[in-house]
Structure 1
């Protein structure tokens, strides 16, 4: 077969360093758009983004030619630099060191898009830590609580 094709849908989640509430409402749409550009430059497509003050969810059609860790690195480095340049008060901004990336069936696409779009409402009653533990359990991941948070 001369053409290589792939359908790799992923849900990517990560927080600000120490879950500090630094992502302000007025910059989130621009941040999501900027991250969409990074993903596009890497050969993927950002399908949906949602964030609250201390973390972000990204639904991505992952590029077939790039390792997951490399895409996350590009997103974190590029968006962190953008945040620091946009607001000099955030010159010490950092994302957490780790992340969660989960494969998504095309059959679950709409449900995930709704979930990501409803982050503000969702986090009125659920903390990031509670949500992240639930996601890890839902996706059958094993983790050590000592190494999940930074």
Structure 2
């Protein structure tokens, strides 16, 4: 038998201390760059979005890389790009990330959610959004590590 897989993930991570470093003037370029890194890492970017202090990615992955290695390279490369191309000033991603599995039928719902980030964040903060996502996925967490 051949090997078959369907691994779709909704990933989110924030800037260090949730500082609003990501500006509207270049947020689209950042999302494009993140998509390029995802492709270089042999995954498929399905939707990328976010606002000034965090990003969301919906990706299709192959079972060839540990997620921790994938995320380390994604954050390292994108941080380097921001420093070299956009900001010659402090910029960092927070430590860690949140990743949730997404069933194929739910991918379109998650993609719409990511596309509407600016609207979502008129009503609630990234922290509130993250808590909601963790609760919905049944992930246990210590609130002190959500800062």
Listed one character per residue, the Cα deviations across residues 70-100 of structure 1 (whole Å, up to 9, x for unaligned) are 11111100000001112234x3211000110
Listed one character per residue, the Cα deviations across residues 86-133 of structure 1 (whole Å, up to 9, x for unaligned) are 2234x3211000110000011111110110000001101110010000
Unaligned runs of 5+ in 1: none
Task: Give the SS at the match of 1:25.
Answer: coil
CA RMSD between the two structures: 1.1
In the alignment, the residues of structure 2 paired with residue 117 and residue 24 of structure 1 have an alpha-carbon distance, to the nearest angstrom, of: 17
In the alignment, the residues of structure 1 paired with residue 43 and residue 63 of structure 2 have an alpha-carbon distance, to the nearest angstrom, of: 8
Per the alignment, residue 112 of structure 1 pairs with 110
In the alignment, the residues of structure 1 paired with residue 37 and residue 13 of structure 2 have an alpha-carbon distance, to the nearest angstrom, of: 16
Task: Give the SS at the match of 2:42.
Answer: coil
Per the alignment, residue 51 of structure 1 pairs with 50
Per the alignment, residue 11 of structure 1 pairs with 10
**Deviation (angstroms), 1:31:** 0.8
Correspondence for 2:119 among 105, 110, 121: 121
- Counterpart mapping for 1:1-150 below 5 A: 1=1, 3-89=2-88, 91-149=89-147
TM-score of the pair, normalised by structure 2: 0.95
- Number of residue equivalences: 147
Task: Give the SS at the match of 2:26.
Answer: helix
TM-score of the pair, normalised by structure 1: 0.94
Listed one character per residue, the Cα deviations across residues 11-30 of structure 1 (whole Å, up to 9, x for unaligned) are 00000000000111121111
Unaligned runs of 5+ in 2: none
Cα–Cα, structure 1 residues 43 and 5, in superposed 2: closer, same or farther, change >3 Å? farther
